[in-house]
Amino acid sequence: MAESVIKERTLTDLTNEEIGRYSRHLLLAEVGIEGQKRLKASRVLIVGTGGLGAPLALYLAAAGVGKLGIVDFDFVEESNLQRQVIHGTRDVGRPKVASAKDRIKSINPYCDVVIYNTMLSSENALDILKDYDVVADGTDNYQTRYLVNDACVLLGIPNVYGSIFQFEGQASVFYAKEGPCYRCLYPEPPPPGLVPSCAEGGVVGVLPGIVGTIQANEVIKLIVGGGDSLTGRLLLFDSWKMKFRELKLDKDPQCPICGKEPTIHELIDYEQFCGLKKSTTEEPVETITATELKQRLDENEPIQIIDTREPHERAIVKFPEAKAIPLGQMARRIDEFDPAIDAVFICKIGQRSIFAIRALREAGYTGRLLNLKDGINAWAREVDTSLPVY
């Protein structure tokens, strides 16, 4: 049976009110009084209060975790409400950590909530994480995942991992003392832009609820002690096919941070590691704002507008006078462009269109290529407010 991560901490008795609140836990022999006292004494940090962080925070607070830390620097947006159930309509525009704290306290006033309204970085991660027993990673980007992993390895803290995309999710426990870390599974991040974010690729609303509660379950087991942890296992879930699969994970003896001869002894520059910093040799992409594009169209300037989105996404909102060429077809349809006329490329938020421009450059296209800054959403906000922002 696995030992509790807080087995050496002095535990305080439960009050009569707490016994009543957590009685369904106390009836479980695997939890009981001692397990609930460990939950009361535990300190858990949740990184991100979005799709995964929402169920993590709700269920860990309800379970009786004594101290919950939440890290986020974002604000609640209407598009979050489809899946981030810790926030409500009236919270739109508020800092996510403030909204989450209010909801947590409404569920369990006994839970001490500490908020960090900041971006987790190499400069502050160790100082924040060092005060916690378990870290639950609810982030949606690779640079923060590697940062959380490395900080947890250096501090000897288990990292309860989850990730989601469209209909698929993953969960595991990375605990270098007992098994592999995130770098053992993914030694290198994918090339920038290869994996779209949920904001670009979408996600079914219930998926983060399923994966986030699996993470919460793993956190509880680590604190209480017992059960079969996901350490050394990667759980894969397909919500559309309703199938679970499991992969065995081995510790990589050559891992640069948890291997036999580690080469990483401190936190690094994760944006550079993930290839997010602009290269000094890479040709910059020229941009055009929505209002600038509108002006050029009003003046009847000859211009090619290329919509790089897929058909199902174009059905949400159409762009006037745009020619549809999905990103994957860009290079092989190079003959459809006129190098003598400026071409403006659009997508939802102005990210995929950058890759379309670079694909054409690599294919040898010599005409002027412009990227619509912040994509069609900027057009809907700044030019044609009758269109939806999605």
The length of the chain is: 390
CA dihedral 131, 266, 232, 254 (to 10 degrees): -160
CA distance 98 to 272: 31
Positions marked active-site: 198, 347
Nearest Cα neighbor of 39 from 49, 28, 50 is 28
Q: What is the 3-state secondary structure (H, E, C) of the chain?
A: CCCCCCCCCCCCCCCHHHHHHCHHHHCCCCCHHHHHHHHHHCEEEEECCCCCHHHHHHHHHHHCCCEEEEECCCECCHHHHHCCCCCCHHHCCCEHHHHHHHHHHHHCCCCEEEEECCCCCCCCHHHHHCCCCEEEECCCCHHHHHHHHHHHHHHCCCEEEEEEEECEEEEEEECCCCCCCHHHHCCCCCCCCCCCCHHHHCECCCHHHHHHHHHHHHHHHHHHCCCCCCECEEEEEECCCCEEEEEECCCCCCCCCCCCCCCCCCCCCHHHHCCCCCCCCCCCCEEECHHHHHHHHHCCCCCEEEECCCHHHHCCCCCCCCEECCHHHCHHHHHHCCCCCCEEEECCCCCHHHHHHHHHHHCCCCCCEEEECCHHHHHHHHCCCCCCCC
Residue 20 CA to its chain's centroid (Å): 36
